[in-house]
Amino acid sequence: MTTTIPEDDAAIGTAAVPVQRAVRMRPGARHLIVAALVAVAFVIPFFAKSFVTFQLTEVLIYGLAILGLNLLTGFNGQFSLGHSAFYGIGAYTAAILIHNYEISYLWTIPAAGGVCFVIGFLFGLPALRLQNLYLALATFALATAMPQILKFHALEGWTGGVQGLVVDQPDAPDFLSMIDSDQWLYYFTLIIVLAMFACAASLIRSRTGRAIMAIRDNPIAAAAMGINNSLYKTLTFGVSALYTGVAGALGALAIGFVAPDSFTIFLSISLLVGLVIGGVGSIPGCLVGGLFVLYVPNIANALSTGLAGAIYGVILLIVIFVMPAGAAGFVRLAVARMSRWRRASPEGR
């Protein structure tokens, strides 16, 4: 029987991220739902206004960034408040390659992913020594440092200093001339996001995914079973940074410029909020999180400009009270209740 004295970080151990199993459905149902949603996603730009398409692009981008955070915090149990730094690095990589070196935007995506993977991996090495709260502070430090580093005068030749860099938006390729650049950006983002979500889902279902989750649930037992904790933890850090970095690069392409003050600790906090609202440890939940992060601040602003922050806070509190485990947890609870109800009714209750 485990007895832990709740002091410092011991209490914020495995309780931080509860084990979550995928929602149980009929085998074909899940694939049908995903296929239907993907089909809808492909068709929307033809019916929606240009601005809505742009917003949906941003939802996809935030969803991808939150997926990166989810891989690290939700599936591996390593707390990170620093993902705004990786998002920023990805965005600046793309911007610098396009602005200073005139490289096609297609190559910036893998480049941003690669750079962020290396940096994430390197950050993961010292992170091995820090637990929970202290890791949170170290990542907090990274996130706070990033805007300062980006504004640093010695790097101004590359980063453009305080003003940042302008990124030309990519045009649709010639054989697809009937769609405009907003729609092309949407499809480009959609294809990349779908591919990366599929990779993440497949990673989680594999042996590696089980090892990653084992480390989250009980690091000592995982080590006893022969899992190389250090290797998996640093690799997960790298992969998580890769995902968020690619999201950053896509973000730079979508918005059209990068500036140091877009990548502050508040972005990290938004990603964290999105993660929790969508459901920690749930891959589809990341998109729900992305929707929340994009739309709710706008809704709060529309309701009252002066008290926008207060309304946002109240909405956040209500959502947390009603759905403490996030949207994914809520869906799981609802499905479980419905199947219990369906099983109970033949008995005449």
Partner 1 sequence: MELLLQQVMAGLANGAIYACMALAVVMIFQAIDHLNFAQGEMAMFSTFIAWQLIAWGAPYWVAFAAAVVISFIAGVLIDRVLFRPVQKAPILSQLVAFIALFSILNSSAGQIWDYTIKTFPTPFGHTPLLGSLVDTHEAGMIGVTLLLLALLYAFFRGTRLGLAMRAAAANPESARLVGIRIGWMTALGWGMAAAIGSVAGMLIAPVVFLEPNMMIGVLLYGFAGAVLGGLSSPAGAVLGGFAVGVLENLAGTFIPYVGRELKLTLALIMIVIVLMFRPSGLFGRSVVSRV
> Can you give the binding site for partner 1, defined by CB under 8 A?
2-12, 15-18, 73, 126, 129-131, 133-134, 136-138, 140-141, 144-145, 148-149, 151-154, 220, 269, 272-273, 275-277, 280, 306-314, 316-317, 320-321, 324-326
Cβ distance to partner 1 smaller for residue 97 or 276: 276
Cβ distance to partner 1 smaller for residue 37 or 162: 162
Min dist CB 180 to partner 1, Å, is 37
Q: How far is CA 319 from CA 181, 269, 287, 315, in A?
A: 36, 16, 16, 6
List, in sequence order, every residue forming a beta bridge with 166; answer none if it has no partner. Answer: 257
Min dist CB 79 to partner 1, Å, is 8
- Which residues make Cβ contacts (< 8 Å) with residue 148, sequence separation at least 6? 260
Which two three-digit tokens encode residue 146? Answer: 């990033």
In the three-class reduction of DSSP (H, G, I as helix; E, B as strand; rest coil), residue 167 is classed as coil
Min dist CB 45 to partner 1, Å, is 32
Cβ distance to partner 1 smaller for residue 148 or 345: 148
> Which residue carries 């440092």 as its tokens?
145
- Which residues make Cβ contacts (< 8 Å) with residue 282, sequence separation at least 6? 20, 70, 74, 326, 327, 328, 329
Report the chain's C-alpha Rg in angstroms: 21
Cβ distance to partner 1 smaller for residue 149 or 179: 149
Min dist CB 309 to partner 1, Å, is 3
Distance CA 4, CA 86 (A): 34
Cβ distance to partner 1 smaller for residue 16 or 52: 16
Distance CA 94, CA 187 (A): 18
Min dist CB 114 to partner 1, Å, is 25
* C-beta separation of 35 from 342 below 8 A: no
Cβ distance to partner 1 smaller for residue 56 or 327: 327
Cβ distance to partner 1 smaller for residue 95 or 273: 273
Min dist CB 184 to partner 1, Å, is 35
Distance CA 136, CA 139 (A): 5
Q: At CA 315, angle to CA 313 and CA 318, rounded to 5?
A: 110
Min dist CB 123 to partner 1, Å, is 10
Min dist CB 104 to partner 1, Å, is 34
Cβ distance to partner 1 smaller for residue 38 or 333: 333
Which two three-digit tokens encode residue 110? Answer: 């893998």
* C-beta separation of 20 from 275 below 8 A: no
The single-letter DSSP state of residue 325 is T
